[in-house]
Amino acid sequence: MYELHNCLRSVFFATLIPGTILLSWLTGLVGFRSLQACLLIFFLIFVVLPLIFRYSVTLQRGILFLTFIKYPKGLDLTKPESVGLYATRNFYITVKDHDQDEDGVRVGVWHVLPSNAVRRFKRELRVEEEVDHDLDQHLEPAPGNEQELKELAPAIRSEFPAVVPENEQLFYERLLRMPGGTVVLYLHGNTASRGSGHRSEVYKLLRKLNYHVFSFDYRGYGDSDPVPPTEEGIVRDAMMVFEYIANTTSNPVVVWGHSLGTGVATHLCAKLASLRERAPRGVILESPFTNIRDEIRLHPFAKLFRHLPWFDFTISRPMYTNRLRFESDVHVQEFHQPIMIIHAEDDVVVPFLLGYRLYRIALDGRSRSWGPVEFHRFGASLKYGHKYLCRAPELPGLIQRFVESYRNAVF
Protein backbone atom coordinates (compact mmCIF):
# COMPACT_ATOMS: atom_id res chain seq x y z
CA MET A 1 0.00 0.00 0.00
CA TYR A 2 2.85 2.39 0.87
CA GLU A 3 4.60 1.69 -2.45
CA LEU A 4 1.33 2.22 -4.34
CA HIS A 5 0.83 5.54 -2.55
CA ASN A 6 4.36 6.67 -3.49
CA CYS A 7 3.83 5.59 -7.09
CA LEU A 8 0.56 7.49 -7.39
CA ARG A 9 2.14 10.52 -5.71
CA SER A 10 5.04 10.49 -8.17
CA VAL A 11 2.72 10.18 -11.17
CA PHE A 12 0.63 13.07 -9.87
CA PHE A 13 3.58 15.42 -9.47
CA ALA A 14 5.11 14.35 -12.78
CA THR A 15 1.90 15.13 -14.69
CA LEU A 16 0.80 18.18 -12.69
CA ILE A 17 2.77 20.81 -14.62
CA PRO A 18 2.22 19.47 -18.18
CA GLY A 19 -1.39 18.71 -17.30
CA THR A 20 -1.91 22.28 -16.11
CA ILE A 21 -0.33 23.63 -19.30
CA LEU A 22 -2.50 21.38 -21.47
CA LEU A 23 -5.66 22.31 -19.57
CA SER A 24 -4.84 26.00 -20.01
CA TRP A 25 -4.66 25.46 -23.76
CA LEU A 26 -7.89 23.45 -23.89
CA THR A 27 -9.74 26.17 -22.00
CA GLY A 28 -8.32 28.87 -24.24
CA LEU A 29 -6.18 30.56 -21.61
CA VAL A 30 -3.03 30.14 -23.72
CA GLY A 31 -2.46 29.79 -27.44
CA PHE A 32 -0.97 26.84 -29.29
CA ARG A 33 2.47 28.45 -29.61
CA SER A 34 2.49 29.16 -25.88
CA LEU A 35 1.51 25.54 -25.25
CA GLN A 36 4.43 24.33 -27.37
CA ALA A 37 6.89 26.69 -25.65
CA CYS A 38 5.75 25.68 -22.15
CA LEU A 39 5.91 21.96 -22.91
CA LEU A 40 9.37 22.39 -24.45
CA ILE A 41 10.60 24.22 -21.33
CA PHE A 42 9.13 21.48 -19.13
CA PHE A 43 10.82 18.81 -21.24
CA LEU A 44 14.20 20.56 -21.11
CA ILE A 45 14.14 21.23 -17.36
CA PHE A 46 12.55 18.05 -16.04
CA VAL A 47 13.65 15.45 -18.57
CA VAL A 48 16.74 16.57 -20.49
CA LEU A 49 18.54 18.20 -17.56
CA PRO A 50 18.17 15.14 -15.27
CA LEU A 51 19.35 12.90 -18.11
CA ILE A 52 22.42 15.08 -18.65
CA PHE A 53 23.08 14.88 -14.91
CA ARG A 54 22.79 11.08 -15.01
CA TYR A 55 25.47 10.67 -17.66
CA SER A 56 27.85 13.47 -16.62
CA VAL A 57 30.18 12.58 -13.77
CA THR A 58 31.70 16.06 -14.06
CA LEU A 59 28.31 17.69 -13.44
CA GLN A 60 27.60 15.35 -10.51
CA ARG A 61 30.89 16.25 -8.87
CA GLY A 62 30.39 19.94 -9.59
CA ILE A 63 26.94 20.03 -7.95
CA LEU A 64 28.12 18.01 -4.95
CA PHE A 65 31.42 19.71 -4.18
CA LEU A 66 30.65 23.24 -5.45
CA THR A 67 34.34 24.08 -5.74
CA PHE A 68 33.49 26.96 -8.10
CA ILE A 69 31.87 28.90 -5.24
CA LYS A 70 34.64 30.96 -3.68
CA TYR A 71 34.34 33.51 -0.88
CA PRO A 72 35.45 35.85 0.49
CA LYS A 73 36.91 37.16 -2.73
CA GLY A 74 40.57 38.11 -2.78
CA LEU A 75 41.43 36.12 0.35
CA ASP A 76 45.13 35.27 0.58
CA LEU A 77 45.20 31.91 2.33
CA THR A 78 48.94 32.22 2.95
CA LYS A 79 48.07 35.00 5.42
CA PRO A 80 45.64 33.60 8.03
CA GLU A 81 45.96 36.86 9.97
CA SER A 82 43.79 38.46 7.28
CA VAL A 83 40.79 36.69 8.84
CA GLY A 84 41.87 37.38 12.42
CA LEU A 85 43.88 34.18 12.92
CA TYR A 86 47.19 35.46 14.23
CA ALA A 87 49.75 32.88 15.42
CA THR A 88 48.63 30.49 12.69
CA ARG A 89 50.97 28.59 10.42
CA ASN A 90 50.11 28.07 6.75
CA PHE A 91 51.81 25.11 5.07
CA TYR A 92 51.25 22.40 2.49
CA ILE A 93 51.13 18.62 2.53
CA THR A 94 51.59 16.44 -0.54
CA VAL A 95 49.09 13.59 -0.83
CA LYS A 96 50.08 10.52 -2.83
CA ASP A 97 47.03 8.69 -4.18
CA HIS A 98 49.04 5.53 -4.85
CA ASP A 99 52.60 4.24 -4.64
CA GLN A 100 53.36 5.13 -8.26
CA ASP A 101 52.07 8.69 -7.86
CA GLU A 102 55.24 10.74 -8.26
CA ASP A 103 53.80 14.26 -8.10
CA GLY A 104 50.91 13.84 -5.70
CA VAL A 105 48.32 16.47 -4.79
CA ARG A 106 49.29 19.50 -2.72
CA VAL A 107 46.75 20.56 -0.08
CA GLY A 108 46.88 23.78 1.95
CA VAL A 109 46.77 23.48 5.75
CA TRP A 110 46.42 25.86 8.70
CA HIS A 111 47.72 25.09 12.18
CA VAL A 112 46.10 27.42 14.71
CA LEU A 113 47.90 27.57 18.06
CA PRO A 114 45.89 27.39 21.32
CA SER A 115 45.36 30.60 23.27
CA ASN A 116 47.45 29.61 26.29
CA ALA A 117 50.49 28.92 24.07
CA VAL A 118 49.98 32.17 22.16
CA ARG A 119 49.81 34.19 25.38
CA ARG A 120 52.92 32.47 26.73
CA PHE A 121 54.96 33.10 23.56
CA LYS A 122 53.35 36.29 22.27
CA ARG A 123 56.66 38.13 22.18
CA GLU A 124 58.43 35.40 20.20
CA LEU A 125 55.44 35.21 17.83
CA ARG A 126 55.29 39.02 17.63
CA VAL A 127 51.55 39.14 18.37
CA GLU A 128 51.58 41.15 21.61
CA GLU A 129 49.08 43.68 20.30
CA GLU A 130 46.58 41.05 19.14
CA VAL A 131 46.79 39.09 22.40
CA ASP A 132 46.41 42.22 24.52
CA HIS A 133 43.40 43.23 22.44
CA ASP A 134 41.74 39.87 23.10
CA LEU A 135 42.40 40.25 26.82
CA ASP A 136 40.88 43.72 26.72
CA GLN A 137 37.80 42.16 25.11
CA HIS A 138 37.57 39.69 28.02
CA LEU A 139 38.39 36.75 25.79
CA GLU A 140 40.19 34.85 28.50
CA PRO A 141 40.87 31.27 27.37
CA ALA A 142 39.83 28.14 29.23
CA PRO A 143 42.24 26.26 31.50
CA GLY A 144 44.70 24.07 29.61
CA ASN A 145 48.14 22.49 30.01
CA GLU A 146 49.41 25.59 31.83
CA GLN A 147 51.80 23.69 34.09
CA GLU A 148 53.58 22.03 31.18
CA LEU A 149 53.81 25.36 29.37
CA LYS A 150 55.24 27.07 32.45
CA GLU A 151 57.88 24.40 32.97
CA LEU A 152 58.99 24.15 29.34
CA ALA A 153 58.72 27.83 28.38
CA PRO A 154 62.32 28.81 29.36
CA ALA A 155 63.83 26.00 27.28
CA ILE A 156 61.62 26.80 24.30
CA ARG A 157 62.44 30.52 24.53
CA SER A 158 66.15 29.78 24.54
CA GLU A 159 65.68 27.57 21.49
CA PHE A 160 63.39 30.03 19.69
CA PRO A 161 64.18 33.62 20.72
CA ALA A 162 62.08 34.72 17.74
CA VAL A 163 59.78 32.80 15.40
CA VAL A 164 60.80 33.48 11.80
CA PRO A 165 59.97 31.64 8.56
CA GLU A 166 63.16 29.58 8.83
CA ASN A 167 62.21 28.04 12.20
CA GLU A 168 58.42 28.39 12.14
CA GLN A 169 57.75 24.71 11.40
CA LEU A 170 60.04 23.56 14.21
CA PHE A 171 58.43 25.95 16.68
CA TYR A 172 54.85 24.96 15.87
CA GLU A 173 55.66 21.26 15.94
CA ARG A 174 57.52 21.71 19.23
CA LEU A 175 54.40 23.20 20.80
CA LEU A 176 52.24 20.50 19.20
CA ARG A 177 54.32 17.80 20.92
CA MET A 178 54.05 19.45 24.33
CA PRO A 179 52.34 17.05 26.81
CA GLY A 180 48.79 17.73 27.93
CA GLY A 181 47.56 19.29 24.68
CA THR A 182 44.54 18.44 22.58
CA VAL A 183 44.28 18.60 18.79
CA VAL A 184 41.15 19.16 16.70
CA LEU A 185 41.19 18.24 13.01
CA TYR A 186 38.45 20.27 11.31
CA LEU A 187 36.92 18.95 8.08
CA HIS A 188 34.91 21.65 6.34
CA GLY A 189 31.88 21.31 4.08
CA ASN A 190 31.55 22.14 0.40
CA THR A 191 32.02 25.60 -1.17
CA ALA A 192 34.66 28.25 -0.40
CA SER A 193 37.85 27.44 1.54
CA ARG A 194 39.32 26.96 5.01
CA GLY A 195 39.31 30.75 5.37
CA SER A 196 35.57 31.45 5.02
CA GLY A 197 33.91 33.40 7.82
CA HIS A 198 31.91 30.81 9.75
CA ARG A 199 34.84 28.38 9.69
CA SER A 200 37.18 30.99 11.14
CA GLU A 201 34.67 31.48 13.96
CA VAL A 202 34.93 27.78 14.79
CA TYR A 203 38.75 27.92 14.86
CA LYS A 204 38.66 30.90 17.20
CA LEU A 205 36.24 29.11 19.51
CA LEU A 206 38.46 26.01 19.63
CA ARG A 207 41.58 28.15 20.10
CA LYS A 208 39.92 29.81 23.07
CA LEU A 209 39.37 26.33 24.56
CA ASN A 210 43.15 25.82 24.28
CA TYR A 211 43.06 23.27 21.48
CA HIS A 212 45.47 23.08 18.57
CA VAL A 213 43.33 23.37 15.43
CA PHE A 214 44.18 21.94 12.03
CA SER A 215 42.06 22.87 9.03
CA PHE A 216 42.82 22.23 5.38
CA ASP A 217 41.33 22.52 1.93
CA TYR A 218 40.57 19.34 0.08
CA ARG A 219 41.85 18.99 -3.47
CA GLY A 220 40.05 21.44 -5.74
CA TYR A 221 39.33 23.90 -2.91
CA GLY A 222 41.13 27.06 -1.84
CA ASP A 223 44.82 27.05 -2.73
CA SER A 224 45.08 23.26 -2.87
CA ASP A 225 45.87 21.76 -6.26
CA PRO A 226 42.94 22.18 -8.71
CA VAL A 227 42.31 18.45 -9.00
CA PRO A 228 38.65 17.40 -9.42
CA PRO A 229 37.57 16.04 -6.03
CA THR A 230 36.10 12.60 -5.44
CA GLU A 231 34.96 11.00 -2.21
CA GLU A 232 38.00 8.72 -2.10
CA GLY A 233 40.28 11.63 -2.95
CA ILE A 234 39.17 14.01 -0.22
CA VAL A 235 39.10 11.21 2.35
CA ARG A 236 42.67 10.47 1.29
CA ASP A 237 43.52 14.15 1.85
CA ALA A 238 42.03 13.97 5.34
CA MET A 239 43.96 10.77 6.04
CA MET A 240 47.28 12.41 5.15
CA VAL A 241 46.66 15.44 7.36
CA PHE A 242 45.62 13.12 10.21
CA GLU A 243 48.79 11.07 9.70
CA TYR A 244 50.89 14.24 9.82
CA ILE A 245 49.35 15.12 13.20
CA ALA A 246 49.65 11.56 14.53
CA ASN A 247 53.28 11.31 13.45
CA THR A 248 54.13 14.63 15.12
CA THR A 249 52.41 14.31 18.50
CA SER A 250 51.07 11.64 20.84
CA ASN A 251 48.46 14.05 22.21
CA PRO A 252 44.80 13.06 21.65
CA VAL A 253 43.11 14.10 18.41
CA VAL A 254 39.42 14.87 17.97
CA VAL A 255 37.94 14.96 14.46
CA TRP A 256 35.28 17.62 13.79
CA GLY A 257 33.27 17.47 10.58
CA HIS A 258 30.74 20.00 9.33
CA SER A 259 28.10 19.30 6.65
CA LEU A 260 29.85 17.41 3.82
CA GLY A 261 32.83 17.18 6.19
CA THR A 262 30.78 14.87 8.44
CA GLY A 263 30.74 12.35 5.60
CA VAL A 264 34.50 12.75 5.28
CA ALA A 265 34.94 12.38 9.05
CA THR A 266 32.97 9.13 9.37
CA HIS A 267 34.60 7.65 6.27
CA LEU A 268 38.05 8.62 7.58
CA CYS A 269 37.41 6.99 10.97
CA ALA A 270 36.00 3.85 9.35
CA LYS A 271 39.08 3.59 7.14
CA LEU A 272 41.44 4.08 10.09
CA ALA A 273 39.57 1.33 11.94
CA SER A 274 39.82 -1.07 9.00
CA LEU A 275 43.57 -0.41 8.73
CA ARG A 276 43.98 -0.72 12.51
CA GLU A 277 45.78 2.61 12.52
CA ARG A 278 45.88 5.08 15.38
CA ALA A 279 42.41 6.60 15.65
CA PRO A 280 41.01 9.88 17.04
CA ARG A 281 39.68 9.88 20.59
CA GLY A 282 36.32 11.30 19.56
CA VAL A 283 34.28 12.55 16.61
CA ILE A 284 32.11 15.69 16.53
CA LEU A 285 29.56 15.84 13.71
CA GLU A 286 28.03 19.26 13.06
CA SER A 287 24.93 19.27 10.83
CA PRO A 288 25.43 15.72 9.53
CA PHE A 289 23.38 13.69 7.06
CA THR A 290 22.89 9.95 6.66
CA ASN A 291 24.08 9.57 3.06
CA ILE A 292 24.13 11.56 -0.16
CA ARG A 293 21.00 9.90 -1.52
CA ASP A 294 18.93 11.12 1.44
CA GLU A 295 20.60 14.54 1.46
CA ILE A 296 19.99 15.15 -2.24
CA ARG A 297 16.32 14.24 -1.97
CA LEU A 298 15.78 16.66 0.93
CA HIS A 299 18.04 19.48 -0.28
CA PRO A 300 16.26 22.73 -1.25
CA PHE A 301 17.76 22.57 -4.76
CA ALA A 302 15.98 19.24 -5.34
CA LYS A 303 12.52 20.53 -4.43
CA LEU A 304 11.48 20.84 -8.08
CA PHE A 305 12.75 17.38 -9.01
CA ARG A 306 12.35 15.09 -6.00
CA HIS A 307 8.81 13.92 -6.88
CA LEU A 308 9.64 12.97 -10.44
CA PRO A 309 9.28 9.20 -11.06
CA TRP A 310 12.73 9.20 -12.65
CA PHE A 311 14.48 11.11 -9.82
CA ASP A 312 16.33 8.08 -8.45
CA PHE A 313 17.19 6.82 -11.93
CA THR A 314 18.64 10.13 -13.16
CA ILE A 315 20.03 11.74 -9.98
CA SER A 316 20.41 9.56 -6.86
CA ARG A 317 21.46 6.25 -8.35
CA PRO A 318 24.14 7.60 -10.74
CA MET A 319 25.95 9.31 -7.87
CA TYR A 320 26.05 6.04 -5.97
CA THR A 321 27.26 4.25 -9.08
CA ASN A 322 30.05 6.83 -9.42
CA ARG A 323 31.07 6.35 -5.77
CA LEU A 324 29.79 9.69 -4.51
CA ARG A 325 28.04 8.24 -1.48
CA PHE A 326 29.30 9.61 1.86
CA GLU A 327 27.46 6.86 3.72
CA SER A 328 27.75 8.05 7.29
CA ASP A 329 24.86 5.76 8.24
CA VAL A 330 27.15 2.84 7.32
CA HIS A 331 30.45 4.27 8.56
CA VAL A 332 29.27 5.18 12.10
CA GLN A 333 28.83 1.44 12.62
CA GLU A 334 32.42 0.70 11.61
CA PHE A 335 34.50 2.59 14.19
CA HIS A 336 34.46 2.52 17.99
CA GLN A 337 35.15 6.12 18.99
CA PRO A 338 32.53 8.21 20.83
CA ILE A 339 30.41 10.54 18.71
CA MET A 340 28.79 13.88 19.50
CA ILE A 341 26.20 15.15 17.01
CA ILE A 342 25.03 18.77 17.04
CA HIS A 343 22.28 20.05 14.76
CA ALA A 344 20.04 23.11 14.45
CA GLU A 345 16.34 22.56 13.92
CA ASP A 346 16.20 25.41 11.38
CA ASP A 347 18.93 23.96 9.16
CA VAL A 348 17.51 24.04 5.61
CA VAL A 349 20.67 22.83 3.85
CA VAL A 350 20.98 19.56 5.80
CA PRO A 351 17.57 19.02 7.41
CA PHE A 352 17.50 18.34 11.14
CA LEU A 353 15.68 15.06 10.41
CA LEU A 354 18.82 13.59 8.80
CA GLY A 355 21.06 14.42 11.75
CA TYR A 356 18.60 12.85 14.19
CA ARG A 357 18.15 9.82 11.94
CA LEU A 358 21.93 9.31 11.90
CA TYR A 359 21.93 9.49 15.70
CA ARG A 360 19.27 6.76 15.93
CA ILE A 361 21.16 4.58 13.44
CA ALA A 362 24.35 4.96 15.47
CA LEU A 363 22.53 4.15 18.72
CA ASP A 364 20.93 1.03 17.29
CA GLY A 365 23.83 -0.21 15.17
CA ARG A 366 26.88 0.24 17.40
CA SER A 367 28.01 -2.17 20.08
CA ARG A 368 27.34 -1.19 23.69
CA SER A 369 31.04 -1.63 24.43
CA TRP A 370 31.93 1.12 21.95
CA GLY A 371 32.13 4.81 22.67
CA PRO A 372 28.81 6.52 23.52
CA VAL A 373 26.79 8.56 21.03
CA GLU A 374 25.21 11.84 22.13
CA PHE A 375 22.92 14.24 20.34
CA HIS A 376 22.33 17.94 21.00
CA ARG A 377 19.58 19.87 19.24
CA PHE A 378 19.39 23.65 18.95
CA GLY A 379 15.93 25.15 18.62
CA ALA A 380 14.75 26.83 15.44
CA SER A 381 14.00 30.04 17.37
CA LEU A 382 17.75 30.50 17.95
CA LYS A 383 18.29 30.86 14.18
CA TYR A 384 21.70 29.21 14.01
CA GLY A 385 20.81 27.55 10.70
CA HIS A 386 23.40 25.48 8.90
CA LYS A 387 26.57 27.42 9.70
CA TYR A 388 26.40 29.23 13.01
CA LEU A 389 26.12 26.68 15.81
CA CYS A 390 29.53 28.01 16.83
CA ARG A 391 27.69 31.06 18.21
CA ALA A 392 25.63 29.02 20.69
CA PRO A 393 26.72 30.06 24.21
CA GLU A 394 26.39 26.51 25.53
CA LEU A 395 28.54 24.95 22.79
CA PRO A 396 31.97 25.55 24.44
CA GLY A 397 30.81 23.69 27.54
CA LEU A 398 29.49 20.78 25.45
CA ILE A 399 32.78 20.54 23.57
CA GLN A 400 34.87 20.66 26.75
CA ARG A 401 32.82 17.99 28.49
CA PHE A 402 33.00 15.71 25.46
CA VAL A 403 36.74 16.16 24.95
CA GLU A 404 37.65 15.84 28.63
CA SER A 405 35.46 12.75 29.02
CA TYR A 406 37.16 10.82 26.23
CA ARG A 407 40.60 12.40 25.58
CA ASN A 408 42.30 9.58 27.50
CA ALA A 409 39.79 6.82 26.73
CA VAL A 410 40.52 4.01 24.29
CA PHE A 411 37.67 2.03 22.75
Q: Any catalytic annotation for residue 258?
A: no
CA 409 to each of CA 151, 155, 267, 302: distance values in angstroms, whole numbers, following the listed order: 26, 31, 21, 42
**Angle subtended by helix axes 260-275 and 231-248, to nearest 10:** 60
Can you tell me the distance from the alpha carbon of 181 to that of 115, in angstroms, rounded to the nearest whole number?
12
Catalytic residue, from 193, 259, 287, 316: name it.
Answer: 259
Task: List, in order, residues 6 or more apart from 2 with CB less than 8 Å away.
Answer: none
SS3 letters for 295-335? HHHHCHHHCCCCCCCCHHHHHHHHHHHCCCCCCHHHHCCCC
CA geometry: angle 296, 299, 304, nearest 5 deg: 95
CA 410 to each of CA 239, 370, 401, 406: distance values in angstroms, whole numbers, following the listed order: 20, 9, 17, 8
Among 220, 196, 201, which Cα is nearest to 384's? 201
Catalytic residue, from 134, 217, 329, 347: name it.
Answer: 347
What's the order of all strands across the beta sheet hosting 88-95? 88-95, 105-112, 212-216, 183-187, 253-258, 282-286, 339-344, 373-378
Go through the chain and tell me how many residues it has: 411
Q: Would strands 282-286 and 339-344 be described as parallel, antiparallel, or unpaired?
A: parallel
Can you tell me the distance from the alpha carbon of 65 to that of 396, in angstroms, rounded to the nearest whole number?
29
Other CB atoms closer than 10 Å to residue 294's CB: what's the count? 20
Q: Any catalytic annotation for residue 386?
A: yes
Can you tell me the distance from the alpha carbon of 390 to that of 380, in angstroms, rounded to the nearest whole number?
15
Q: Any catalytic annotation for residue 329?
A: no
The answer to whether 35 and 21 have CB atoms below 8 angstroms apart is: yes
Annotated catalytic residues are: 259, 347, 386
